[in-house]
């Protein structure tokens, strides 16, 4: 992996379903992996910053795990609600400069009743 890649591109689930999606990044020279939540017509908001292999972070029904050796992070949403509908972005400092992030194209989640 030479870039920041996210899958799937979009996801449509029913209310109450649990779901997860993936962010892949170069496994060499790891510094930090960021997750953002981006609601339509708003601006991206930070969810998690993950720095250690095996890290697991949680915020309400949303959690994330990190595997720096294989270069991926998973974002999980338990019991999805319509208000979880958003695009979820991950970002990684590809150039090795912590302050300069490269963003993935995001996973667009739509939760319907």
Instruction: Check if the beta carbon of residue 104 is closer than 8 Å to that of residue 95.
Output: no
Least spacing, CB of residue 99 vs another protein, in Å = 5
Q: Which stretch binds another protein (CB under 8 A): 10-18, 20-28, 63-71, 96-104?
A: 96-104
Give the pairing type, strands 86-92 and 72-77: unpaired
Least spacing, CB of residue 29 vs another protein, in Å = 16
Taking the least distance from each CB to another protein, the nearer of 17 and 63 is: 63
Q: Which of 58, 59, 69, 100 binds another protein (CB under 8 A)?
A: 100
68, 25, 73, 7: CA torsion to nearest 10 = -160
Nearest Cα to Cα of residue 73 among 82, 62, 83, 81: 62
Site residues (CB under 8 A) for another protein?
32, 34, 42-46, 49, 89, 91, 98-106
């Amino acid at each position: 992996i030479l870039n920041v890649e996210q899958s799937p591109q979009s996801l449509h689930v029913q209310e109450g379903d649990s779901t997860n999606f993936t962010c892949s990044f170069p496994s060499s020279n790891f510094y930090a992996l960021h997750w953002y939540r981006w609601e339509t017509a708003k601006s991206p908001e930070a969810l998690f910053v993950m720095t250690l292999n095996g890290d697991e972070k949680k915020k309400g029904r949303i959690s994330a795990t990190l595997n720096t050796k294989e270069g991926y992070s998973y974002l999980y949403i338990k019991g999805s609600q319509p208000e979880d509908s958003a695009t979820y972005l991950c970002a990684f400092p590809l150039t090795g400069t912590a302050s300069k992030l490269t963003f993935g194209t995001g996973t667009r989640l739509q939760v319907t009743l």
